[in-house]
Amino acid sequence: MERNLHTDDFEQLLREKSEEFRMYPSKRIWHSIYNNIHPGRKWPSVAMSITLITTLLLVGYLNTKNTGFYNTSTEKLTNGKANTPNHSPLVNSTTLTGQTGTEAPTSSIKNTPIGLALKNNLRQNAVSTNTPILTGIKAAGSPALEMAVANQPALSGKIIVSKDQPSVNVPLFTEPFQTVAKVGVIQKSTQRQPDNISHDQIVTISDEPAVLTQVQKIAINDILENVLPEDYGSSDRYRKIAVSIQNRSSYADNNLTATTQNTQDFVSTREREWIENYALYNRPASRKWANKLSWQMYATPSVVYRSLYNDYNFGTTLNATPPLAIASNGDINDDVIQKPSLGFEIGTGLQYSISKGIKITAGVQLNYTRYTSNAFQNTHPVATRLSMHDYKTNMTYEEYRTTPYSNKSGPEPIKLHNQTVQISLPIGLDFKLIGNENLQWNIGATIQPTYVPLGKSYLISSDRRYYIKETSMLNRWNLNAGVETFVSYKSSNGITYQLGPQFRTQLFSTNNKKIAVEEKLLTYGLKFGISKTLK
Amino acid sequence: MTEELMLAGCLTNNAASQEALYSRFSPRMLGVCYRFAKNREDAEDMLQEGFIKVFSQIHQYRGEGALEGWIRRIVVHTCINVLKKNKKFSDSVDITFASGVGIREEGIPSIMQAKEVVECIRLLPIGYRTVLNLYAIEGYSHKEIGNMLDIEESTSRSQYTRAKAMLEDVLVKKKIMLKPRAKTPFFGATAIK
């Protein structure tokens, strides 16, 4: 490439500034690149990710369960005279809830509206009035910790303050800690108003190491880091925190190359700058599955065949009566005249690309299967028998039935439709054989756990002379397997179209295994599908 | 790790060398992608695609010129390919689309220095922005840009002229740049008001 130098002042400025500009990609990008250039080493990272996610979920779940533990300890702290022998509750719940004069039970914070009232107050004020809720936190000497609460209609001037009395207020804040921390962040991004804090509005929180749990300490630190204004950096500890905040704010400044004369004109407030830089450099990581997950729907008109099979290993009849003489000793498939019929399949599912050429698919699918038996309708029902297997004894026995349908001859020809409605959950893999990003030839295979809610079967009698209508012996649960090959084309609008033949076979008999004649359905179809990548 | 070592490692598909190369060049290359992309996510996708190409074609680097330049060229071409796949892009390259496009004052971010320049570039319509990026910053000629974007060379020129004027306007408004001096008219010509 001829690298020209289009140098006037303007282009020079553009080039210089653009060269200075750097952005730091998230780790995810490198992992994706690594997985792409080392496909064979992907699995360990996938396994690690699954393990990590499981661990995180477990930890999250356990932490959620532990909330009860903190509440319990809260109750102990509040109730137990041994723990707080001379301490009356510092914040009167009646004051907070506006029920002056009524002494609220302090025995159970969990059951009183104090926590909720405070939480709601904080939330409402933070959202609706945009007033700073917690305007400052400062230390009044170790181990006491003072939390200033100002500009709160519900709290201001009503909170009893006592520096001398170690309070039991920690439990009060146990529940809304997260809310408070978030409020702090909001406040930081709006405007700091550290002024209107009177001593009367200070709530003392006991900070005894033996009493405060680690979680509470972390939460308090969280609040401190988020809401402490510079004016309150009086003690060493909080001065450090203030400096830390200062550093955090100025981090982006230092990182953004040298200043120009016009810098001041651009920066209206430090907060604004901080928010802008924060938004730029701390964006949440994009979804891992983006561009890998696609949603698919498909339809398959199909032709349904059947395969009949009689297991002759079950020999001896258990009935007292001798078995009926069968019309023919040949293959059962030759004794019946059955024709394939049209069925269909519709489904939807998700596909996840685990590499460039392999996709995992899963979804839900509805199949309608049908084939036809050519028979004759008799005027009157005829008694016949149905061969059954007894799996306990490995013997064949016969059950008596009546039927109007004859297989061999009768006054009126009739077509009997054997049909099922199946709901399946296909899970499988698609492999790309050849092709580029837009046009591909793929093969796929699925295994399909299947439920059969509806169906109608016409079973052949023991002597193969009659058809017996039977619906109660349907196998409700079955397993199917499918293989397919298809050509897919990805259009410019991001939708992928696919077309190709599909073969689906039933792995277990349509009917109960007690029926001697096993029937398996074979479906040949032409599948048409569309899929769209999810972003 | 020196560049030679990194290159040697990358040629043998050594993961550590590849990561070192990625770590060294990815921040600047993401900046490049960001100038072309609609948002940071798209920029990261471009970067990812670009580096996959870099690692798969690293054996084609013959040591002629700087490695960074070679990587940058691949990344820029990847960005262009991604943009070209987007139909909206090809529409917006149309010169008629861009005429009369203005920048709203309130849409201009108040951010600093290099970042602010890049953000101002990103405020331009995508057709303008791409041509400007390629010509003024990446140093491609209008002929090359025309070939890359499947547009006429003259279209590239006019797009650039308008992009430049618009960007100048933005930069002046944001006081990043002083108002450019009016060009002296050609000898004997009269400036049209």
For residues A134 and A136, give the distance between their C-alpha atoms in angstroms, rounded to a whole number: 6
User: B152 vs chain A: nearest CA distance in angstroms?
Assistant: 19
**pLDDT on residue A477:** 92
| pLDDT tens digits along A27-56 | 888 888 888 887 766 555 666 777 788 888
Which member of A11, A272, A280 has the closest CB to residue B110?
A272
Whether residue A288 lies within 8 A of chain B, CB to CB, comes out as no
For residues A360 and A445, give the distance between their C-alpha atoms in angstroms, rounded to a whole number: 10
CATH number of the domain to which A305 belongs:
2.40.160.20
Q: What is the mean pLDDT of chain B?
A: 78
> pLDDT band at B76, cuts 50/70/90?
very high
> pLDDT band at A505, cuts 50/70/90?
very high
Share of chain B above pLDDT 70, in %: 77
Residues A236 and A327 in one domain: no
Residues A371 and A491 in one domain: yes
Q: What long-range pairs does A233-242 form, CB within 8 A, spacing at least 24?
A: A234/A138, A235/A138, A235/A139, A237/A139, A238/A137, A238/A138, A238/A139
For residues A269 and A356, give the distance between their C-alpha atoms in angstroms, rounded to a whole number: 48
The domain containing residue A160 runs over which residues? Answer: 33-266
**pLDDT on residue B170:** 81
> Is A231 a member of any domain?
yes
For residues B191 and B193, give the distance between their C-alpha atoms in angstroms, rounded to a whole number: 6
Residue found under tokens 């320049």: B117
For residues B190 and B173, give the distance between their C-alpha atoms in angstroms, rounded to a whole number: 28
Whether residue B135 lies within 8 A of chain A, CB to CB, comes out as yes
Cβ atoms A521, A510 nearer than 8 A: yes
Residues A66 and A132 in one domain: yes
CA distances (Å), origin B57, targets A438, B7, B71: 22, 12, 10
pLDDT greater at residue A165 or residue A398: A398
Most confident of A36-50, A337-351, B93-107: A337-351
Last residue of a domain, one of A266, A282, A302: A266
Whether residue A23 lies within 8 A of chain B, CB to CB, comes out as yes
Residues A177 and A316 in one domain: no
In the DSSP assignment, the letter for residue B103 is: -
**pLDDT on residue A530:** 93
Name the pairing type of β-strands A395-406 and A358-390.
Answer: antiparallel
Amino acid occupying residue B130: T
User: A527 vs chain B: nearest CA distance in angstroms?
Assistant: 28
> pLDDT band at A280, cuts 50/70/90?
low
**pLDDT on residue A100:** 38
Residue of B nearest to A3 (CA): B139
Residues A436 and A341 in one domain: yes
Whether residue B53 lies within 8 A of chain A, CB to CB, comes out as no
> Is A490 a member of any domain?
yes
Could you tell me how far CA B93 lies from the centroid of its own chain?
15
CB contact under 8 A, B26 and A25: yes
Residues of A in contact with B30 (CB under 8 A): 22-25
Whether residue A27 lies within 8 A of chain B, CB to CB, comes out as no
Which member of A4, A5, A22 has the closest CB to residue B27?
A22
CB contact under 8 A, A258 and B113: yes
For residues A4 and A12, give the distance between their C-alpha atoms in angstroms, rounded to a whole number: 12
Longest dimension (CA), chain B: 65
Binding-face residues of B in 62-121 toward A, CB within 8 A: 69, 73, 85, 87, 109-118, 121
Q: In what order do the strands lie in the sheet with A202-205?
A: A136-139, A145-148, A202-205
Helices and strands of chain B, counted as H and E runs: 10, 0
Whether residue B145 lies within 8 A of chain A, CB to CB, comes out as no
Residue of A nearest to B16 (CA): A34
Residues A45 and A161 in one domain: yes
In the DSSP assignment, the letter for residue A12 is: H
Question: For testing the chain B interface, which of A14, A276, A291 should be mutated: the one with the most B CBs within 10 Å?
Answer: A14
Residue A244 C-beta-side C-alpha neighbours within 13 Å = 13
CB contact under 8 A, B43 and A23: yes
**Could you tell me which of A381, A393, A420 has the C-alpha nearest to residue A506?**
A420
Cβ atoms A463, A325 nearer than 8 A: yes
CB contact under 8 A, B117 and A11: no
The residues facing A405 across adjacent strands are A377, A467
Could you tell me how far CA A455 lies from the centroid of its own chain?
34
Residues A251 and A322 in one domain: no
Cβ atoms A228, A137 nearer than 8 A: yes
Last residue of a domain, one of A248, A266, A284: A266
Give the pTM. Answer: 0.39
Whether residue A372 lies within 8 A of chain B, CB to CB, comes out as no
Which of A58-72, A74-88, A324-338, B62-76 has the weakest average pLDDT? A74-88
Domains of chain B: 1-85 (1.10.1740.10), 87-178 (1.10.10.10)
**pLDDT on residue A154:** 41
DSSP secondary structure string, A176-240?
Answer: THHHHHHHHHHHHHS----S---GGGEEEE---TTTS-HHHHHHHHHHHHHH--GGGTTSHHHHH
Residue A307: phi, psi to the nearest 5?
-125, 125
> Is A281 a member of any domain?
no
| pLDDT tens digits along A175-232 | 444 434 343 443 444 444 444 444 444 333 434 444 444 444 444 455 445 544 444 4
**pLDDT on residue A6:** 45
Binding-face residues of A in 234-263 toward B, CB within 8 A: 253, 256-260, 262-263
> Is A192 a member of any domain?
yes
CB contact under 8 A, B115 and A256: yes
Strands (E) located in A273-411:
293-310, 338-353, 358-390, 395-406
> Is A146 a member of any domain?
yes
CB contact under 8 A, B18 and A20: no
Cβ atoms B111, A273 nearer than 8 A: yes
Whether residue B164 lies within 8 A of chain A, CB to CB, comes out as yes
**pLDDT on residue A17:** 80
Tokens of A9: 């002042």
For residues A76 and A171, give the distance between their C-alpha atoms in angstroms, rounded to a whole number: 10
For residues B109 and A460, give the distance between their C-alpha atoms in angstroms, rounded to a whole number: 80
Count of A–B CB contacts within 8 Å? 150
> Is A2 a member of any domain?
no
Question: ipTM value of the model?
Answer: 0.76
Residues of A in contact with B114 (CB under 8 A): 17-18, 20-21, 256-257
For residues A158 and A33, give the distance between their C-alpha atoms in angstroms, rounded to a whole number: 59
Amino acid occupying residue A19: E
CB contact under 8 A, B121 and A14: yes
Residues A41 and A153 in one domain: yes
CB contact under 8 A, A266 and B110: yes
Sign of the Cα torsion B136, B139, B144, B147 reads negative
How many residues in total does chain B contain? 193
The reply to whether omega before A89 is within 30° of 0 (cis) is no
| pLDDT tens digits along A216-275 | 444 445 544 554 444 444 455 555 555 554 554 444 444 444 444 444 444 456 665 665
Amino acid occupying residue A283: R
Q: What long-range pairs does A146-149 form, CB within 8 A, spacing at least 24?
A: A146/A202, A146/A203, A146/A204, A146/A205, A147/A173, A147/A202, A147/A203, A147/A204, A147/A205, A147/A223, A148/A197, A148/A201, A148/A202, A148/A203, A149/A201, A149/A202, A149/A203
Which member of B31, B113, B140 has the closest CB to residue A259?
B113
> Is A320 a member of any domain?
yes
Share of chain A above pLDDT 70, in %: 50
Rounded to 10 degrees, what is the CA torsion of A329, A332, A334, A340? 170
**pLDDT on residue A511:** 86
**pLDDT on residue B107:** 42
> Is A81 a member of any domain?
yes
Residues A70 and A178 in one domain: yes
User: A487 vs chain B: nearest CA distance in angstroms?
Assistant: 22
> pLDDT band at A367, cuts 50/70/90?
very high
Residues of A in contact with B28 (CB under 8 A): 19, 22
Residue of A nearest to B77 (CA): A1
Task: Report the number of distinct structural domains present in chain A.
Answer: 2
**pLDDT on residue A94:** 36
Residues of B in contact with A495 (CB under 8 A): none
Residues A260 and A361 in one domain: no
**Could you tell me which of A139, A123, A111 has the C-alpha nearest to residue A176?**
A123
Q: What is the CA radius of gyration of chain B?
A: 19
The residues facing A204 across adjacent strands are A146
Residues A299 and A246 in one domain: no
The residues facing A376 across adjacent strands are A406, A413
Residues of A in contact with B18 (CB under 8 A): 33-34, 37
For residues A123 and A179, give the distance between their C-alpha atoms in angstroms, rounded to a whole number: 7
Residue of B nearest to A291 (CA): B45
CB contact under 8 A, B34 and A18: no
Residues A337 and A451 in one domain: yes
